[in-house]
């Protein structure tokens, strides 16, 4: 029998590690992992995890010892989500788009004694002192010669002793992409990961028939806990080294994908790809990272992709809210539906309801107009920032986690993001939501995507500027875009300038507005000098 | 904002009461409760619960004070599942099929200071001292004149303070039907009820579109926690005063029922009813209480009812195991499928795997033959028996809850019940499973249902005797039944006698074998005297 941690007959500590034990027991022959031509059923998946965990313990992994991973969405990283906590350790899955300096900082800050690195990303760890950190290369071949496979071979196929004493112990540390300053390590607990995984199962509707495609990086909030959730329901994980649109369409067809997740940029890439087709069965697409534009939502639906809009942060294990659909909305026009679906909604069944508050932590009116900060609490909120007591206290000020996201609160209780606290434009004393301008601009038929930031203005303090990427072969001028906006939103909100370019993005597809902003404000400083 | 109990920013105590707060907030207009022509949406449902809880507190309900209910599946009892714990109390939902003595015992043993009683069951509480217990009559009319409605009117429509300090506090006490001795009070915790409700949502597959028909009594393990689970997903509860087959078929059609639960006897009644029809959309029927016969399972499927077989006890919040279906079984013959579906399977995703053990708590071989006792532990096991330290210790002997159910363990890890510990027949030193004989006899085309017990035998110690109910207008003789068995099972397992009669049953549809046994063994004693 799988050993589990029992405090009493009536209580088992909540841990997502139990999901694999249970699924491998009940459904050993079900396909757990697909990676190109490789296939592991749940019995094989479990054996690999046992070997991984046993070997880590043999090599001296201590309780709560950190084990770092630097890899794309391959079987090894999925295995790590079970093996490392099973061995009593804490997973640190590092963003592969970081540079060597940043990786080195995270390794040092986390104090990881073990590092597993995919061959492609070896250059990022050249600076790492291999006397302090045991490095294992992953060739991602699944072959005998693969150093990662040798590591597994040396482990025992028997389940190691599993010694979680308290469900609030850490299971993972996820470093935020940190647009300013050094990244911070967000601590997830076993309890939080377990409950969030159940929340994903219920809200997104996954089950034994789910074929989940790994477009979302597993290093991003542990893949919103889908690493654990898909395993809990005996679904199939389809791995993917990089989210290439052609490859995604191929896998949707070949593997019968039923679900995938990601930022709107992934979906934009997909709906505009030449291989796009309308699958017979609907595919559930869970979108977060930024509000999907009504235009994008309409296109997604035309391709029989069923969009679900969720919102959260690394600090909330990924999604915390969902725009839960009301049956009465079915009768609205397509445009109205898309407008509603762009809202962030309210908390998951396993999370606590979110609030929108002013500077004094008082609720803002539920008028759909007043902007305030989104705050969260409950089992879906991180334990804290690793080794950052002050930053944790600041984030938890007033007994709630401060998201740094600005939103309005609709009369029905749903929230709708207006901006990042640091992105909002203050022009002549008025708040201008960059998201509102962006959602207007992407309605223009020539526009693929866009980002709006504040630029300095002598008279108004700040004015909006739009960075726009046009569709293939489409054309538009600055004036056309500005005129288009003037027809739809108040004049003071319309961009003062438009620039046509590719947008800088994070590995998870978020637009890096700070890069645009730095560029613009540097110019200003130059001018002033 | 709904007040919830927060120990820290990262932790909210798990309680199913939160499900109503969240659903009423997110989906206020969704129909929550249907009862004949009455309809309450979630906002109304919540207001009624607030009034109920506030009034209880005003009347002096203390923390953990017990509030008893004696009613069929009506809105008031559903409301009680949220209002009583919201007011800090503990719900004691009493079986309405008990007699006045038993009801009086439970009221006294539980120490309930409040009692709500449906008019129909007033005769059962004639002995209750109304100086010690505040009694409120429920006319189940929803009208102003209904004393229960007056009670609600006097309460405040505002949410009362909710002061759960620890999720392992009690939420309900459910008295077992106790086939021997006095009933025992099984304590459920907030945490257990919350996790079990999530387990039901995931395993049975309920969601916002679910229309759940209350065929299973809510007083039976709080309706297997579906009281809370259906509310969590914003499904619709369809109330039902009594599980009448004609009424059930009518509601399946009229309300678009998607799910109902119950013992096999409910299904037997249904499939044999003249109003039976094949609904267009499949209706999920979750069956527990006794293993459904392969014959019954085949009939259920023919009516587009999708059977799920689960197993548990009051001590495990209702279901603990499910016969999870393997895709590879789809290619089996209908008879083979039905045989597999009759297995009890393995633990829910939120429960711990069950074991089958011998007298020394060692695992029996997984050979599908050796009989042992089913034992459970984890978050799905009761806190203990109320005021029964010794009985609790005995039930938890060796760190596991002893179910008193005998099963074999199949090579794939699934369990299959063979008998209650007290029902097994020992004949000439051999164990004979009464369930095996019963499943054989119900394959006879004339048989509606049957129960097998041990009768005394001078030579063999015990021998099986079958009590058989024939189908309407069908005929069979004792000899025909015995011959039928001889073609299918070993001769020593065949019944020594067959009697044709109605079977005595509990309110939840379980056959009361002890009544048959007492009768038989009393005859023997007479003979000896």
Give the nearest partner residue to B399 out of A9, A18, A28, using CB atoms. A9
- CB proximity B448 to A under 8 Å: no
DSSP class of residue B243? -
Domain end call among A174, A195, A216:
A195
DSSP run (H or E) holding A490? none
CB B91 within 8 A of CB B61: no
- CB proximity A19 to B under 8 Å: yes
**What pLDDT was estimated at residue A4?**
45
- Does residue B276 lie in a domain region? no
Average pLDDT, chain A: 91
Give the nearest partner residue to A1 out of B21, B353, B384, using CB atoms. B353
Give the nearest partner residue to A2 out of B19, B353, B383, using CB atoms. B353
Output phi, psi for B5, to 5 deg. Answer: -95, 120
Residue in A17, A18, A39, A43 with CA at minimum distance from that of residue A28? A43
Pairing of strands B66-70, B259-262: unpaired
Give the nearest partner residue to A202 out of B9, B198, B413, using CB atoms. B198
Q: How many domains does chain B have?
A: 2
Structure tokens at B70: 């004696």
List chain B residues with CB under 8 Å of A345: 26
Give the nearest partner residue to A324 out of B27, B355, B384, using CB atoms. B27
Residue in B358, B361, B355 with CA at minimum distance from that of residue B372? B358
CB A260 within 8 A of CB A215: yes
Confidence check: pLDDT of A180 > 60: no
The Cα A350–Cα B194 span in angstroms is 10
Which residues of chain A from 274 to 333 reach within 8 Å of chain B, CB to CB? 324-328
- Does residue A278 lie in a domain region? no
For residue A515, what pLDDT band results from cuts at 50, 70 and 90?
confident
- CB proximity B86 to A under 8 Å: no
**What pLDDT was estimated at residue A91?**
98
- Does residue B2 lie in a domain region? no
Cβ separation B4–A349 shorter than 8 A: no
Mark the ranges of chain B whose per-residue pLDDT is less than 50. Answer: 1-5, 526-529
For residue A5, what pLDDT band results from cuts at 50, 70 and 90?
very low
List chain A residues with CB under 8 Å of B377: 6, 9-10, 12
The Cα B392–Cα B72 span in angstroms is 29
Give the nearest partner residue to B233 out of A28, A202, A346, using CB atoms. A202
CB B74 within 8 A of CB B227: no
Nearest-CA distance B94 → chain A (Å): 23
Domain end call among A175, A195, A215:
A195
- In the block, residue with structure tokens 């071949």: A141
- CB proximity B398 to A under 8 Å: no
**What's the CA angle centered on A55, arms A124 and A38, to 5 degrees?**
70
**What pLDDT was estimated at residue A144?**
96
List chain B residues with CB under 8 Å of A308: none
| pTM, entire model | 0.89
Give the nearest partner residue to A22 out of B2, B353, B363, using CB atoms. B353
Question: What is the full DSSP assignment across A203-238?
Answer: III--TT-EEE--S-TTSHHHHTHHHHHHHTT-EEE
Cβ separation B201–A205 shorter than 8 A: no
DSSP class of residue A122? G
CB A390 within 8 A of CB A184: no
**What pLDDT was estimated at residue A2?**
39
- Identify the domain containing residue A3 by its residue range: 1-7+19-24+35-156+166-195
Give the nearest partner residue to A9 out of B324, B345, B381, using CB atoms. B381
- CB proximity A10 to B under 8 Å: yes
Cβ atoms within 10 Å, residue A339: 15
Give the nearest partner residue to A198 out of B18, B19, B198, using CB atoms. B198
Nearest-CA distance B46 → chain A (Å): 16
Mutate to test the interface with B, among A19, A32, A349 (most CBs of B within 10 A): A349
Cβ separation B381–A10 shorter than 8 A: yes
- CB proximity B97 to A under 8 Å: no
**What's the CA angle centered on A200, arms A195 and A203, to 5 degrees?**
120
What is the distance, to the nearest Å, from the Cα of residue A359 to the centroid of all Cα atoms in its chain?
28
- Does residue B68 lie in a domain region? yes
- Does residue B70 lie in a domain region? yes
Residue in A171, A240, A253 with CA at minimum distance from that of residue A33? A240
- CB proximity B353 to A under 8 Å: yes
List chain B residues with CB under 8 Å of A201: 202
**What pLDDT was estimated at residue A529?**
35
- Does residue B251 lie in a domain region? no
Structure tokens at A65: 């010892």
Nearest-CA distance A55 → chain B (Å): 26
List chain B residues with CB under 8 Å of A30: 326-327
Give the nearest partner residue to B377 out of A9, A379, A384, using CB atoms. A9
To 10 degrees, the CA torsion angle through B378, B382, B383, B386?
Answer: -160
For residue A55, what pLDDT band results from cuts at 50, 70 and 90?
very high
**What pLDDT was estimated at residue B444?**
92
- Does residue A208 lie in a domain region? no
Residue A111 contacts by C-beta under 8 Å, 6 or more apart in sequence?
A: A66
Residue in B429, B428, B405, B427 with CA at minimum distance from that of residue B417? B405
Cβ atoms within 10 Å, residue A74: 23
Q: At what angle do helices A264-271 and A294-302 cross, to 10 degrees?
A: 50
Return the CATH number at B496: 3.30.300.30
For residue A39, what pLDDT band results from cuts at 50, 70 and 90?
very high
List chain B residues with CB under 8 Å of A401: 9
Domain end call among B192, B211, B229:
B192
- CB proximity A397 to B under 8 Å: no
For residue A178, what pLDDT band results from cuts at 50, 70 and 90?
low
Nearest-CA distance B9 → chain A (Å): 5
Which residues of chain A from 226 to 285 reach within 8 Å of chain B, CB to CB? 232-234
pLDDT tens digits for range A253-295: 999 999 999 888 788 889 999 999 999 999 999 998 666 777 7
Confidence check: pLDDT of A3 > 60: no
Cβ separation A25–B346 shorter than 8 A: yes
Cβ atoms within 10 Å, residue B461: 14
ipTM: 0.89
Cβ atoms within 10 Å, residue A122: 13
Per DSSP, what are the bridge partners of residue A425? A432
Per DSSP, what are the bridge partners of residue B229? none
Mutate to test the interface with B, among A7, A9, A200, A346 (most CBs of B within 10 A): A9
- Does residue A494 lie in a domain region? yes
Which residues of chain B from 54 to 73 reach within 8 Å of chain A, CB to CB? none
Cβ contacts from A onto B, under 8 A: 140
- CB proximity A379 to B under 8 Å: yes
The Cα A292–Cα A344 span in angstroms is 10
List chain B residues with CB under 8 Å of A26: 324, 345-346, 413
**What pLDDT was estimated at residue A524?**
62
Q: Check residue A9 and give left, alpha or beta (phi > 0: left; psi -120 to 50: alpha).
A: alpha
List chain A residues with CB under 8 Å of B349: 19, 22, 198, 232-233
CB B408 within 8 A of CB B363: no
**What's the CA angle centered on A478, arms A477 and A481, to 5 degrees?**
90
Residue in B319, B313, B328, B326 with CA at minimum distance from that of residue B349? B319
Confidence check: pLDDT of A410 > 70: yes
Return the CATH number at B113: 3.40.50.12780
- CB proximity A365 to B under 8 Å: no
The Cα B217–Cα B260 span in angstroms is 11
Per DSSP, what are the bridge partners of residue B500? B468
């Amino acid at each position: 029998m799988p050993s589990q941690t029992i405090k009493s007959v009536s209580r088992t500590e909540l841990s997502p590690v139990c999901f694999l034990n249970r699924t491998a027991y009940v459904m050993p022959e079900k396909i757990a992992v697909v990676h190109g031509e490789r296939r592991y059923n749940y019995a094989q998946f479990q054996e690999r995890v046992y070997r991984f965990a046993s070997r880590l313990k043999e090599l001296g992994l201590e309780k709560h010892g950190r084990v770092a991973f630097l890899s794309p969405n391959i079987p090894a990283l999925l295995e790590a989500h079970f093996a490392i906590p099973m061995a009593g350790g804490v997973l640190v899955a590092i963003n592969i788009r970081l540079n060597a300096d940043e990786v080195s900082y995270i390794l040092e800050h986390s104090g990881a004694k073990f590092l597993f690195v995919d061959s492609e990303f070896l250059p990022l760890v050249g600076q790492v002192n291999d006397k302090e950190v045991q490095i294992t290369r992953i060739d991602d071949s699944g072959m005998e010669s693969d150093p990662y496979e040798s590591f597994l071979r040396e482990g025992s196929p028997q389940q190691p002793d599993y010694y979680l004493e308290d469900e609030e112990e850490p299971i993972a540390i996820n470093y935020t992409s940190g647009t300013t300053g050094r990244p911070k390590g967000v601590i997830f607990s076993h309890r939080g990961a377990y409950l969030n995984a159940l929340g994903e199962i219920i809200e997104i509707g996954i089950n034994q028939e789910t074929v989940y495609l790994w477009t979302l990086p597993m290093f991003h909030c542990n893949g919103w806990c889908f690493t654990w959730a898909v395993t809990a329901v005996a679904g199939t994980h389809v791995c993917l080294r990089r989210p290439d649109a052609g490859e995604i369409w191929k896998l949707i067809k070949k593997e019968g994908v039923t679900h995938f997740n990601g930022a709107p940029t992934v979906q934009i890439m997909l709906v505009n790809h030449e291989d796009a087709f309308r699958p017979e069965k609907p595919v559930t697409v869970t979108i977060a990272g930024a509000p999907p534009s009504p235009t994008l939502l309409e296109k997604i639906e035309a391709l029989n992709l069923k969009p679900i809009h969720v919102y959260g942060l690394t600090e909330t294990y990924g999604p915390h809210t969902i725009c839960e659909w009301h049956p009465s909305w079915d009768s609205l026009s397509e445009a109205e539906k898309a407008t509603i679906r762009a809202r962030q909604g309210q908390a998951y069944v396993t999370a606590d309801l979110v609030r929108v508050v002013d500077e004094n932590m008082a609720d803002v009116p539920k008028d759909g107009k007043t902007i305030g900060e989104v705050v969260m609490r409950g089992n879906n909120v991180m334990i804290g920032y690793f080794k950052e007591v002050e930053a944790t206290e600041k984030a938890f000020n007033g007994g709630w986690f401060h998201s740094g996201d600005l939103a309005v609160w609709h009369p029905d209780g749903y929230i709708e993001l207006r901006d990042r606290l640091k992105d909002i434009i203050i022009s002549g004393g008025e708040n201008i939501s960059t998201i509102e301008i962006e959602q207007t601009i992407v309605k223009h038929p020539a526009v693929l995507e866009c980002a709006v930031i504040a630029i300095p203005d002598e008279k108004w303090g700040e004015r909006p500027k739009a960075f726009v990427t046009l569709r293939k072969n489409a054309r538009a001028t600055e004036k056309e875009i500005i005129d288009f906006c003037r027809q739809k939103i108040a004049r003071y909100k319309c961009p003062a300038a438009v620039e046509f370019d590719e947008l800088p993005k994070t590995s998870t597809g978020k637009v890096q507005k700070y890069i645009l902003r730095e560029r613009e404000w540097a110019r200003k400083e130059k001018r002033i000098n």
